[in-house]
Amino acid sequence: MKAYQKYIIYHYLKNFFIILFALELFYVGVDLLTTYKKLPNSANLQILYTMFQGMYAINYVLPLSAVFSMIITVTAMIKSNELVSLYAFGVSKQSFIKPMFLTALSIILVYISLTFSSFSYAREYSNNILRFSQISTSTRDLFLKNGNKYIYFKKLDPIKKEANGIKIFKVLNRDLVSVISAKKGYYKEKNWVLYGVEKIIKPKATVLDNKGLVVQKFAKLEDLKDFRPKIIDNIYKGKFNLSILDAIDALKFYDAQGLDTSRIKTIIFSQIFLPLFAPLLIIIFIAKIPIISRYYNLTILSFTLSFIAVIVWGILFLLSKLAMNSVIMPELAIMAPIFLLGVSAFYSYFKE
């Protein structure tokens, strides 16, 4: 890596972490001011609530921080004549864009990788602390269909991945085949491990010499493959706060049941593609920014670029909400704008 690239990356990252920290403090501070009286008395829960709110705020402030830090870094280099000096020494605009773009893209990819984990449930955890003074809450009396099975959970804890009072009714051609009852179950390695199991197999009505009901008992039995607890809980509650892995499983579940999958697609597209607007805007902005400040007011320029970044983010956020409510197809609401930004960035990089 060349010296000027290290210099650009250093100043970009320094500005990025300063802006990110400031926006995080602002978001969490305002939230604490509005919810202070509702917080539980426990200091541990208050710290956890603050931490989860900070994690949730990253969804909003991180992409904007990536763009704002670029604006500050470039305008500072223009003001000190560092940018024109780099160009005078033979550094092309493409070479100047690369280190900042790749750094921003790496940050966004790290953020996207976090959405594959329970990081996506930070908002739910903080709401549970605020409402119930605990991170996890149990859902009672769930009755769902999965393929040819109807499943009942008397009590489900999606965070601990455990359930009590489980009944599984297997139906073929509108005929009840068997009933599985389990006192307790845990979700492990893509399967539900049931304990204290009793399985009742109903005889076929067409078989004359059948001996009747067959009752089998098992200390342990595996069933309900890929039936994730978070999917069950969110489907039952009508919430669509899912990690990407759970959203993909939910997409398969909805598709198998013939249900509308537009909201699940919106979650997946929003978490994977929406944050990419930040590195794409960086290419577009740097291509448009002047080399020297003699004929431009850098304060107005910085404000204008920041305002455009917020407007673009706001439009994408609005489109994602419209897609979530099935007003617009998620492909048009999310994929199309990101594709247009990508085309514009490609043109700016290679043509301008």
Q: pLDDT (tens digit, 9 = 90+) per residue, 185-206?
A: 888 877 888 888 888 887 776 5
- Residue 336 confidence (pLDDT): 92
Which tokens is 112 given?
A: 């996207």
Reading across the β-sheet that carries 175-188, which strands appear in turn?
139-146, 149-157, 162-172, 175-188, 191-201, 214-223
Q: What is the CA radius of gyration of the chain?
A: 27
Highest mean pLDDT among 160-174, 243-257, 267-281: 267-281
DSSP state of 289: S
For the chain, the average pLDDT equals 84
What does pTM read for this prediction? 0.81
DSSP state of 202: P
In the block, tokens 């449930």 appear at: 121
CB 231 within 8 A of CB 158: no
> Residue 344 — pLDDT band, cuts 50, 70, 90?
very high
CB 198 within 8 A of CB 215: yes
At residue 124, does pLDDT exceed 60? yes
At residue 152, does pLDDT exceed 80? yes
Return the minimum-mean-pLDDT range out of 73-82, 112-121, 199-208: 199-208
C-alpha to C-alpha distance for 192 and 164, rounded to whole angstroms = 12
Return the minimum-mean-pLDDT range out of 119-133, 224-238, 314-328: 224-238
CA angle 284, 285, 289 (to 5 degrees): 125
> Residue 174 — pLDDT band, cuts 50, 70, 90?
confident
Nearest Cα to 268, choosing from 231, 234, 243? 243
Sign of the alpha-carbon torsion through 93, 95, 98, 99? negative
- Angle of helix 244-256 relative to helix 262-272, nearest 10 degrees, comes to 160
Q: Which amino acid is at 173?
A: N
